[in-house]
């Protein structure tokens, strides 16, 4: 397996959404994630490639605007949404790395090996129909909420 070729040959598929609720209470201002079946399977494939790729490897993924139903999951007051257009997903040599940074369009998510496994488990849980759960580091503000795919 040539991981350099694999990572460059990987192509995004499906719809993937990543957004935040602005001006919400801290527990509600963390990143929110959803993907349709094709998007979820595409991310699983990318994470499997990143698991064996050299540290610092990454791919940029176009993201989709969340549906009105997705944006309506938060029932507490907030000041709008920060919606991504591109997600750069990459690996890191520190197995515990969880770094999700950026706003207003472009976000970079760097994950170490243990954190990649956490995201893979979350995607597999979504595959089984689970949603409305978060994963991430101990600091809950850096966690990501995983939601079911909600069409318009």
pLDDT tens digits in sequence order for the chain, 152 residues long: 556 678 889 999 999 999 887 776 666 678 889 999 999 999 999 999 999 999 999 999 999 988 888 877 776 656 777 788 999 999 999 999 999 988 768 999 999 999 999 999 999 999 999 999 999 987 667 889 999 998 75
Residue of 83, 78, 79 whose CA lies nearest to 66: 83
What's the whole-model pTM score?
0.90
Domains identified in the chain and CATH numbers? 3-66+81-146 (3.30.1360)
Residue of 125, 140, 150, 130 whose CA lies nearest to 71: 150
Under 8 Å between Cβ of 60 and 11: no
d(CA 142, CA 65): 21
d(CA 58, CA 11): 12
Report DSSP letters for 79-141, one per residue.
Answer: --EEE-SEEEEEE-SSTT-EEEEEETTEEEEEE-HHHHHHHHHHHHHHHTT--SEEESSSSGG
């Amino acid at each position: 397996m040539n991981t350099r070729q694999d990572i460059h040959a990987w192509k995004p598929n499906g719809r993937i959404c990543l957004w935040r609720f602005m001006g919400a209470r801290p527990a509600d201002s963390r990143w929110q994630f959803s993907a349709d079946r094709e998007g979820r399977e595409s991310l699983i494939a990318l994470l499997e490639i990143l698991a064996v790729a050299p540290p610092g490897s990454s791919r940029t993924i176009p993201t989709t605007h969340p549906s009105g139903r997705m944006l309506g999951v938060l029932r507490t007051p907030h000041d709008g949404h920060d919606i991504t257009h591109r997600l750069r997903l990459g690996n890191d040599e520190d197995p515990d790395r969880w770094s999700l940074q950026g706003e207003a369009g472009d976000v970079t998510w760097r994950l170490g090996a243990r954190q990649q496994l956490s995201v893979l488990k979350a995607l597999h849980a979504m595959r089984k129909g689970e949603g409305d759960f978060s994963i991430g580091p101990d600091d809950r503000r850096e966690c990501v909420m995983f939601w079911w795919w909600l069409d318009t």
